[in-house]
Amino acid sequence: MTILLPVAGISINLFVLIGAGALVGFLSGLLGVGGGFLLTPILMMLGVPPTVAAASDTNAIVATSSSGMAAHFRLGNVDLKLGTVLLLGGLAGSAVGVQIIKVFRLLGNADVVISLTYVVVLGAIGSYMFVESLQSLRRGSLAPRVSTARPSGTLLGRLPCQMKFPRSGIQHSVFVPFVLCAMVGILAAVMGVGGGFIMVPMMVYLLRMPMHVAIGTDLFQILFTCAGLTFMQATTNHTVDLLLALCVAAGSTTGAQIGARVGRLFRGDQLKVVLATIVLVVMVKMAVDLVASPANLLSAVKGAGH
């Protein structure tokens, strides 16, 4: 059964779109990653023009993250206070990152910077997360390793504007999550993908948040970021295909619900292993793409990813 996509102007099998959405939604609900890294290439493979694919999957991710966030919110996994700080930091970082990439583009080195940053950052985060999670699993530790104590005595503990985040069970200077998230925002803008890959590990390892709360809170900030992006893409580029987004979202919202519930069957450390594995697989694919001779010397020009 094919469906004509009004903005893309092409017809695609409806069930393929829903299936692609379900896969991405499942990962989103399970691990808190947005899914843009998967969805845009899948839609492009199906023949959707790159700019429409990038803009429409942003719209679909709004639906997915709403669904996933609602499920996590009911389970008590969304830290609204910390999420708001992270969102503001992420927005500030993205704005800086866009300017940085403009400078690199003028210098003609943008793609070198993007590709190498991608591989190095994903490689470092994935490897650390994978090793640490495996060690944790071997120890069989069920007890939380999250420090709820105020980090007094440390440099971070002496920073001003200390704030308690009861839902996450942590206390930090408000500048810590803001600056960390701004750095993630810069990286996300430079790398052209969303922050989910980097944001969740950063929340777990640097802010010491529980894995499930990190996932729920990440979905909260993804929802707002992608809603803003969708509106901007619709008004400036007219590339949001609502029908395409809804078809994908029909699969992805359901997938997100299943992912969130499947996530409850796993311990935080087990989820970390899954996320680390996916991060490493993406990193390895990027690295192979960098060194292997391409099948074609030309590639489609994508729109803004996330």
Partner 1 sequence: MIARSARSTWRRRAAVVTAMVALGLPASGRAQSPQVTVDPPQLRVETFSGQQHVLITVRVDPDATPVVVIRRPDAEAVFNRKVRVGPIWLNSGRVHITGVPALLLCFSPVPVDALLQRADIDRYLLDARAVRQALHVEPAEFDAPAIRDSYLALRQEDESYRFADRGSDAFEAGEEPGWYALRLAWPTRAPTAMYAVSVYECREGRVVSTATVPFEVARTGLAAWLAAQATDHAPLYGAVAVAVAISLGFGIDFLVTFFRRRGARHGRQPSKRSAGHLGAH
Residues 106-165 that bind partner 1 (CB under 8 A): 108, 111-112, 115, 142-144
Nearer to partner 1, 154 or 296 (CB): 296
| Footprint (CB under 8 A) of partner 1, residues 267-296 | 267-269, 289-296
CB of 155 to partner 1, least distance (A): 27
CB of 252 to partner 1, least distance (A): 9
Nearer to partner 1, 176 or 245 (CB): 245
CA distance 306 to 304: 7
| Residue of 35, 57, 65, 89 interacting with partner 1 (CB under 8 A) | 65
**Residue 87 sits in the site that holds partner 1 (CB under 8 A):** no
**Residue 67 sits in the site that holds partner 1 (CB under 8 A):** yes
> Are the C-beta atoms of 52 and 241 separated by less than 8 Å?
yes
> Are the C-beta atoms of 215 and 222 separated by less than 8 Å?
no
**Considering CB under 8 A, how many residues would be counted as binding partner 1?**
79
- Smallest Cα–Cα separation from 24: which of 51, 52, 62, 50? 62
| Footprint (CB under 8 A) of partner 1, residues 19-38 | none
Token reading at 88: 């503001």
The DSSP string of 57-125 is HHHHHHHHHHHHHHHHHHTT---HHHHHHHHHHHHHHHHHHHHHHHHHHHHT-HHHHHHHHHHHHHHHH
CB of 62 to partner 1, least distance (A): 4
Nearer to partner 1, 86 or 260 (CB): 260
**Residue 103 sits in the site that holds partner 1 (CB under 8 A):** no
Amino acid letter, residue 5? L
Q: Which element (helix H / strand E) includes 13?
A: strand 11-13
The SS3 call for residue 162 is: strand
47 backbone φψ class: left, alpha, beta (φ>0; ψ -120 to 50):
left
CB of 251 to partner 1, least distance (A): 10
Options 2-10, 150-158, 177-185, 188-196: segment touching partner 1 (CB under 8 A): 2-10
CA separation, residue 203 to residues 136, 171, 183, 198, 297 (Å): 17, 13, 12, 9, 39
CB of 245 to partner 1, least distance (A): 6
Nearer to partner 1, 63 or 184 (CB): 63
Give the length of the chain: 306
Among all chains, which residue has been given the structure tokens 């996933």? 68
Nearer to partner 1, 132 or 173 (CB): 132
160 has which bridge partners?
Answer: none
Nearer to partner 1, 28 or 183 (CB): 28
| Footprint (CB under 8 A) of partner 1, residues 196-255 | 210-213, 223, 227, 230-235, 238, 240-243, 245-246, 249-250, 253-254
